[in-house]
């Protein structure tokens, strides 16, 4: 039976505000995520359907707090909460130090991740261009 832990995941990345340890198990992305700073991901979602995350996620919050904008309401998940968040959400806040485990359909998450990375790179390039020389 396949399994993974934070230390055995094959894809470990530091994305700045978020660090991730990920392994894909039979089509499901298993992510151990740590929020290092508060992050409103709204600008990172540009280009996805309705500029919102198009992947569902199931998870568990080990510590901290996560907030999601679901369009017509807000969802808040705190330490000890198991959660499901459907497509059409935006992560709008993550308490620094928040640690959580998230399960998502790998192919759907990859589409979202590509857009997030492209937007983050564009924002970083724009910041570099506007910085005083």
- The confidence band for 133, taking pLDDT boundaries of 50, 70 and 90, is low
Report the share of the chain in percent with pLDDT over 90: 85
pLDDT digits (tens, 9 = 90+) for 3-33: 999 999 999 999 888 999 999 999 999 999 9
Close Cβ partners of 110 (under 8 Å, ≥ 6 residues apart):
29
How many of the other CB atoms lie within 10 Å of CB of 29? Answer: 22
93-132 pLDDT, tens digit each: 999 999 999 999 999 999 999 999 999 999 888 777 766 6
Model-wide pTM > 0.75: yes
For every residue of 70-106, DSSP letters joined together read -SSSEEEEETT-EEEE-SSBEEEEE-TT-EEEEEEEH
Domains of the chain, CATH where assigned:
13-125 (2.60.120.10)
């Amino acid at each position: 039976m396949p399994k993974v832990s934070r230390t055995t995941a094959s894809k470990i990345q530091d994305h700045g505000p978020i660090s991730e340890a990920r392994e894909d198990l039979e089509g499901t992305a298993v992510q151990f995520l740590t929020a290092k700073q508060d992050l409103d991901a709204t600008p990172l979602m540009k280009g996805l359907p309705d500029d919102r995350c198009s992947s569902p996620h199931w998870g568990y919050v080990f510590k901290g707090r996560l907030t999601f904008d679901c369009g017509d309401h807000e969802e808040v998940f705190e330490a000890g909460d198991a959660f499901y968040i459907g497509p059409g959400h935006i992560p709008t806040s993550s308490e620094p130090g928040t640690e959580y485990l998230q399960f998502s359909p790998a192919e759907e998450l990859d589409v979202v991740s590509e857009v997030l990375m492209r937007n983050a790179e564009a924002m970083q390039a724009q910041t570099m261009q506007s910085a005083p020389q």
